[in-house]
Amino acid sequence: MKQPVILVLGIAFASLAATQGLGAATATGNVTVSATVAATAKLTLSSATVTFANADPDSSPSIAATEGAITITTKGKTSTNGTIALTLLAANDLKSGTDTIAISNVTWTATGAGFAAGTMNKTTAQTVGSWTNSNSRTRTQSFALANSWAYATGSYTATATYTLTAP
Amino acid sequence: MPSMSLLSMAGCKVLVLAAVTSVLSLILVPAADAQTVTMTISPSTITFASADPDTTPSVAAPSITVTYRVQNNVSGSWRISLLAGGDLTAGSATIGINNVTWTASPTPTFQAGTLSRTLAQTLASGTGNVPLGTTGTVVFRLANSWTYNVGSYSTSVVFTITAP
């Protein structure tokens, strides 16, 4: 009569031992992951040339550029709350031999947040647009020349430089 | 001596039961050696270099070698998981850790994935023992973007191997 009791106790002991032997094993390792983001600026213009066609000052007091609006793509990385700025500086007045048309007769309008209208200047860089934080933006800029009967005939040229700054 | 008395009183059937109990004990001796796992990670620091997002949309870090071993786990499963300590941060600037993905080999033991700071992600898994010196290779990549602000970002990633 006592024999089955002895057997049950033996199995109970065996089960307890098995549970203790199958505990989960764990090991860990740490890796530090770093990323460096450096100040970067990229500027792309849809056209490197702006042309103003000859026109009657009476009927066309303002001559729009033949190329139409220029698409400007700016990409910049700056510090948190840092300002990225796009400026434009003319190298000189429009010149044709000894004849000149003051560069201040060239103005622009712009579309898109952060960009604004302005007037070209040969001494002080003019802000075309500015914004804070790193970003990629595509905007348009449309140039116009204030027409005048006072302009001597000729083919005038000038260069201007865009500068995108991401401090 | 009390056991000798018991045996003499109960006869041959008791002797058989005692033998069965002894066999069970012998079988369970190996189970007393719990699963053992070891793992080393090298290197312990990786860096994503600054790059132009247009030309390098995905920045790869130097590869990491995971050396691991699983013992006393004849039929059990094991798993290596990854859990990020947080997003990549540089002061107040952050880059979401989900921008960091990885590829790994050898497959299918190792698998690709995306880091998370809330849920451990499986890097590798299998069953049974894994011999000494077994390795896997992991390459982390950062999805590059013009929206990242300038800074030196960092976070930690915990590798955990568990059996079963």
Across the range A100-118, mean pLDDT stands at 96
On whether the CB atoms of residues B54 and A42 are closer than 8 A, the answer is yes
Could you tell me which chain A residue has the CA closest to the CA of B86?
A: A33
Whether B64 and B119 share a structural domain: yes
Alpha-carbon distance B131 to B71, whole Å? 8
CATH architecture of the domain A40-165 equals Sandwich (2.60)
Choice among A2-16, A38-52, B54-68, B99-113 with the minimum mean pLDDT: A2-16
pLDDT, greater one: B67 or B1:
B67
pLDDT tens sequence across A55-104: 999 999 999 999 999 999 999 999 999 999 999 999 999 999 999 999 99
Alpha-carbon distance B104 to B159, whole Å? 14
pLDDT at B34: 85
Residue B11: give the domain boundaries: 1-32
Closest CA to B103 of B43, B63, B130: B63
pLDDT tens sequence across A121-147: 999 999 999 999 999 999 999 999 999
Whether B27 and B39 share a structural domain: no
Whether B15 and B50 share a structural domain: no
Whether B72 and B96 share a structural domain: yes
For residue B70, what is the domain's CATH number? 2.60.40
Q: ipTM > 0.95? A: no
Q: Could you count the other beta carbons within 10 Å of the beta carbon of residue A6?
A: 15
Contacts of B57 in chain A (CB under 8 A): none
With CB atoms and an 8 Å threshold, state whether A14 touches B25: yes
pLDDT tens sequence across B2-13: 333 333 333 334
Whether B70 and B143 share a structural domain: yes
Could you tell me which chain B residue has the CA closest to the CA of A29?
A: B159
Q: Nearest 5°: phi and psi at B148?
A: -75, 130
Q: Shortest CB distance from A25 goes to which of B30, B35, B154?
A: B35
Q: Is A19 helix (H, G, I), strand (E, B) or coil?
A: helix
Tell me the average pLDDT of chain B: 86
- Tell me, yes or no, if A33 comes closer than 8 A to chain B by beta carbon: yes
Quote the number of domains for chain B.
Answer: 2
pLDDT tens sequence across B93-105: 999 999 999 999 9
pLDDT at A19: 32
Whether B21 and B10 share a structural domain: yes
Whether B21 and B84 share a structural domain: no
On whether the CB atoms of residues B68 and B110 are closer than 8 A, the answer is no
Q: Shortest CB distance from A35 goes to which of B35, B153, B162?
A: B153
Whether B80 and B4 share a structural domain: no
Alpha-carbon distance A90 to B109, whole Å? 62
Q: Is the pLDDT of residue B163 over 60?
A: yes
With CB atoms and an 8 Å threshold, state whether B153 touches A37: yes
pLDDT, greater one: B118 or A3:
B118
Q: Is the pLDDT of residue A14 over 70?
A: no
pLDDT at B14: 40
